[in-house]
Amino acid sequence: SSSQVTYDHIFKIILIGDNGVGKSSFIRRFCEGSYVANMETTVGVDFYLSEIDINGKKIKVKIWDTAGSEKYMSISAVYYRKADGVVFVFDVTKPRSFTNIETIWMNAVDAPESGCPEAIKLLVGNKCDLPAEVDLSQAKRYAELHDMLFLEASAKNNHNVRECFLHLAREICELK
């Protein structure tokens, strides 16, 4: 068939955070509706596509996956380029993945040349189906300090995944 879908907007959203926090699982839960336990690191997949409706507007969301390159801190400027939204993801069972948001990932995003300082930000504590080792009230304070919303989520249990993308898309829409 040759049905053609037109969109009011196309948003680029990127997910940032340590290797293993669940970024790929999170994206696939949203875009494909599935969860694969013990998933191999995806290599070579650049982005996933989905569709969101905001106030009757058809939004196409292009979600970029780091495809394992964060392991080597080698995320290129291409990844950040013209991103409309950034999801900072940490693993609630791994305190280090939370402190790295501040010491590594926030700096990368805020870098004026190589980052995307204008993007709308969201902080996600993933794997909330497991007992948290991160002080989540501290995560909430950190988010408020950086003018972003904090949400606990679980790609595994499909908790707050769609809400994250809807929230970002709504905020981005308000700027367009």
Where does this chain bind ligand GDP (CB under 6 A)? Answer: 19-25, 37-39, 41, 126-127, 129-130, 154-156
At its nearest, how many Å lie between ligand GDP and the CB of residue 17?
Answer: 6
Which residue of this chain has its Cβ atom nearest to ligand GDP in the complex?
22
Q: Which of 167, 174, 25 lies closest to 86 in space, CA to CA? A: 167
Q: How far is the CB of 168 from ligand GDP (least distance, A)?
A: 18
Q: How far is the CB of 71 from ligand GDP (least distance, A)?
A: 8
Residue 8 vs 129, nearer CB to ligand GDP: 129
Distance CA 90, CA 152 (A): 10
Cβ closest to ligand GDP, residue 150 vs residue 173: 150
Nearest approach in angstroms of CB 98 to ligand GDP is 14
Q: Give the span between the Cα atoms of 160 and 152, in whole angstroms.
A: 7
Nearer to ligand GDP, 10 or 130 (CB): 130
Please, which residue, 14 or 173, has the CB nearer to ligand GDP? 14
Q: Which is nearer to ligand GDP, 41 or 107 (CB)?
A: 41
H helix runs in the chain, sequence order: 23-32, 77-80, 95-100, 106-110, 136-145, 161-175
The least distance separating ligand GDP from the CB of residue 70, rounded to whole angstroms, comes to 7
Rounded Cα distance, 82 and 13, in Å: 9
Q: Report the largest interatomic distance among the alpha carbons of the chain, rounded to a whole angstrom.
A: 52
CA 19/CA 90 separation, integer angstroms: 9
